[in-house]
Structure 1
Amino acid sequence: MVDVSGDLGSVSFEAELTDEEKDLLHLRARSAGLTFCGCAHAAFLCKLAQSLRCVINGPTADRGSLASGDDRDICVGILGMGHMGKQLLLALLEKSGIKPSHIKISSRRPESAVESIKKGVECFFDNGRLAAWADILFLCCLPSDLHKVCADLHSHLSKHCLVYSFTSGVPVTRLAQLLGHNFILKPQYDFVACGTADVWLSCTHLTTALTDPLLIEASCPLTTSGGISVGLNWVSAVLYSLLNICTSTGLGSSDALSLINTVLKEKSPHAVEFDALSFISASQAASLCTEEPFPWISLTDAQTKETPLLCFLSSSTSMQQRISAAYKSMLCPTHQII
């Protein structure tokens, strides 16, 4: 069937806008871009953590020193099923490779998640239960609900649960205080002037958009081709979170570095690799035995202070290229790595 109105400008959305309103159309692109980038970056983090978990629990792993059990999937919780929570769930089901049975939702209106339940995702209203179960917990609640949500979570979060916050207006330092927890990652997005920011207007349907190599390219954390930047601090915190995952299993520093390099190398041809000096100071690295785990890293500090990893990433174009290649190929396997 042909849409006879498809070429009629008089019935388009923009036709009814005043000149002043048309000046604000770029805000639609920004909103769509922020949602897409938030979901894509979260899926990338989950994919990295999932890949690392699989390598750690692989057939050649030392079972005596690693987490018990043969279930290799990480457990992902989403708290809040508003617009962001629903879009995030779609992205994780589409791109993370995590089974629906390993994704759970806590919402004040579980009945609104009927479609998710059909896909095998469990939904309930119990924030504490979700926190106690999850390896990665996404906060998608409103700022006005944050104090109550943090009170619900405070006594249930394990040290090794990574809290990823999409709640706006609340800095990571404040979240750490409210939760009594320092394993928190909060993306900070900035808008950068560029001529291709309207690329986000094509993000009408997230699941379709996540298959578009141009949109994946535009959302890459280490480029600004789409006019939205999350910066090196976020990338640094993601990599420190992988290091903490290794530390939580008791892996020695040498094995941890090898596995993190492996997870990235599988997706990229670039040869540059991480070593101990990439993550910790020279004095700490000198005193760290290869069989000894890395110290636990506060992600709050990693996002608010200058760290060895941030300095390394800032100075290493090759490593930035490697991470960018990993991002693009993980989210869009058909993407041609250059």
Structure 2
Amino acid sequence: MAAHAKLLLYIVVVDESGASSFRYTRSLLHSTLQLMGCKPRHAFEISRRVFDVVRGDPAEMEMESQGKSGGVQRYELPDAATSPRQFQFELYKRRTTVLIPRDLFLHLVCQALALYKYLAPNQRNHLTLACRIRERKESVTVLLCGTSGCGKSTLSTLLGSRLGITTVVSTDSIRHMMRSFVDDKENPLLWASTYHAGECLDPVAVSKAKARRKAKKRSGVSTNSGMDYEGSGDKVEGKPIGKKQMAIEGYKAQSEMVINSLDRLITAWEDRKESVVVEGVHLSLNFVVRATENHNTVLFPLYTYFPSIFLALSNYVENALLSVSFPVKVEL
């Protein structure tokens, strides 16, 4: 029998097996709907409506639960004897919490979405995926690339806030973390500024390494992704190269060091089912391609270059990201 709760703060969504459950607040459901693609104001209204329906007339809820596996239930007090303080806490949970089957929960949310014209052929699947990400049963990794000063940090913060992703990481932070394990004399390349890293390399060694890579490429031998500047014993003629090319080679060498650590971090985030936004100048195109092949959580690599079109780009990126992950059709 459905339960009527005057004060409803938590909806505990219970899976069909009953083995797992997840507690939603209005703000958490709000962020889940934003992750799905709803506008913030619509997500606020839809989450409020869902909580109002669950808190509303018991007879109406019984009609909604027809054909669904179970209905709304009140939180049950534990049978075991507890301390007075623990009993008060359990009584508070009973007054503010209801349990609802996942099938009925998805049905109520989809009904509210339809009222605000959020329609899509696979609407329920999109909502289920958004819930799995919010419940940390799945995760996503967003890569944001671009040159310095183009707005990566601002855009990553906006995306994290918009999608409800609390972990926003810069590749500069990863580089600073790596510096804790080695001093500037042991690895001057790691301690150098990104655009002056070429000054830490030997121009002759760089030239010879480039010649070796070109020779291997002509012979059809696959080259290593790392920067081989120390030589492999091959007799290859090389000559010093210009400052611009040295700056590029220094950037590539430093980026390779940083993204090797980032690759391990992405693997750890995947294991913990933690969603994250990563931004930085060290995210090269080669790494982005490799990451999308090796990690199925990397949904959409993003690039920004021109600060003058930042606002237009931020709206475009947000819509593009959501259309790739959760294609919700909006008809207003």
TM-score, with normalisation over the residues of structure 1? 0.27
**Structure (1 or 2) with the larger CA radius of gyration:** 2
Query: Which gives a bigger RCO, structure 1 or 2 (Cα 8 Å, sep 6+)?
Result: 2
* More strand as a share of residues: 2
TM-score, with normalisation over the residues of structure 2? 0.27
